[in-house]
């Protein structure tokens, strides 16, 4: 089972690397659009030197990979990242012989839109395979660990420097389109890696915990955890119900709670992922 799981991971990584390459060769490279990271820096250097982008991506990632080994989440995670980097480099230079160098369109907006979508899908597939694309991922983790920067802030620093360089090399209008690519690819990567079923977390403070939890379990078929609670103002003990459910089940939840206890207090929050019974399996076989 473990071998099958590993094969699925590497399939996602290989497919993700291929999709990223298509984004680069069909949209980003012909449009002189840079999305940040090592691949973006390689684009800029290649424009002036004609050096192969894939080779530069591989060479540029090698010292970062060795430096960031300890920040890559263990040996298996690091190995998946190495495979993703190697495949992306091979595909980027190899497909240059088969794909048109002028891209699919000459419209910068269309290039940034579809390039960002394809790039994000590729990144999301690599993430689903429990790897990373290297480059700014590794550097971002190192900066976060060494300098205390939040991961998102570290990515902003690393990608921002490359986009700034692209503005100097290709013009500021193309750099602005590059920012669009970064934003769209981030959204697409999140959608592919985490799915579109945004979950909801409900915290319910009620005087009738048994009645409310029984209806939730029976009607929604969702598990409920009863937590001990105490009001700071009144000093009274009141149980708190904790439940995870789908976005589409929120209105039903509100009706259940209001019918069982009109005086209840409920807070609804958002979760990106739930693992365990009733949702995705915690352990992938």
pLDDT, tens only, 38-95: 888 999 999 999 899 999 999 988 887 777 676 665 666 778 888 999 999 999 999 8
CA-to-CA distance for 261 and 221, rounded, in angstroms?
19
- pLDDT tens for residues 234-255? 888 888 999 998 776 888 888 8
% of residues, the chain, pLDDT over 90: 27
Between 21-35, 53-67, 125-139, the lowest mean confidence (pLDDT) is in 125-139
CA torsion sign for 69, 74, 75, 81 is negative
Q: pLDDT tens digit string along 184-194?
A: 988 888 788 76
**Is residue 228 within 8 Å of 209, Cβ to Cβ?**
no
Q: Residue 21: enclosing H or E segment and its boundaries?
A: helix 2-23
Query: What are the structural domain ranges in the chain?
Result: 2-194, 199-271
- CATH number corresponding to 199-271: 3.30.70.120
Structure tokens at 130: 């429990």
What mean pLDDT comes out for the span 194-200? 70
pLDDT tens-place string over residues 224-235:
999 988 888 888
pTM: 0.74
Of 133, 248, 137, 120, nearest to 193 by C-alpha is 120
Percentage of the chain beyond pLDDT 70 is: 85
């Amino acid at each position: 089972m473990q071998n099958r799981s590993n094969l699925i991971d590497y399939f996602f990584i290989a497919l993700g690397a291929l999709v990223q390459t298509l984004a680069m060769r069909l949209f980003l490279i012909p449009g002189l659009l840079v999305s940040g990271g090592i691949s973006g820096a390689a684009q800029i250097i290649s424009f002036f030197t004609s050096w192969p982008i894939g080779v530069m991506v591989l060479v540029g990632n090698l010292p970062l990979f060795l430096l960031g080994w300890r920040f890559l989440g263990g040996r298996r995670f690091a190995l998946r990242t190495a495979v993703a980097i190697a495949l992306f480099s091979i595909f980027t230079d190899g497909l240059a012989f088969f794909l048109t160098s002028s891209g699919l369109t000459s419209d910068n907006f269309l290039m940034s839109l579809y390039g960002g979508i394809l790039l994000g899908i590729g990144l999301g597939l690599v993430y689903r395979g429990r790897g990373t694309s290297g480059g700014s991922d590794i550097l971002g983790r190192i900066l976060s660990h060494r300098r205390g920067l939040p991961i998102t802030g570290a990515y902003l620093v690393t990608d921002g420097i490359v986009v700034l360089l692209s503005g100097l090399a290709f013009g500021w209008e193309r750099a602005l389109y590059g920012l669009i690519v970064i934003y769209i690819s981030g959204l697409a990567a999140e959608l592919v890696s985490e799915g579109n079923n945004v979950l909801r977390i409900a915290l319910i403070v009620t005087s009738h915990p048994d009645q409310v939890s029984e209806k939730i379990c029976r009607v929604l078929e969702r598990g409920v955890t009863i937590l001990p609670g105490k009001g700071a103002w009144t000093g009274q003990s009141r149980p708190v119900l904790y439940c995870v459910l789908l976005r589409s089940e929120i209105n039903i939840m509100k009706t259940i709670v209001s019918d069982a206890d009109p005086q209840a207090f409920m807070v609804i929050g958002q979760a990106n992922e739930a693992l365990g019974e009733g949702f995705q399996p915690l352990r992938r076989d």
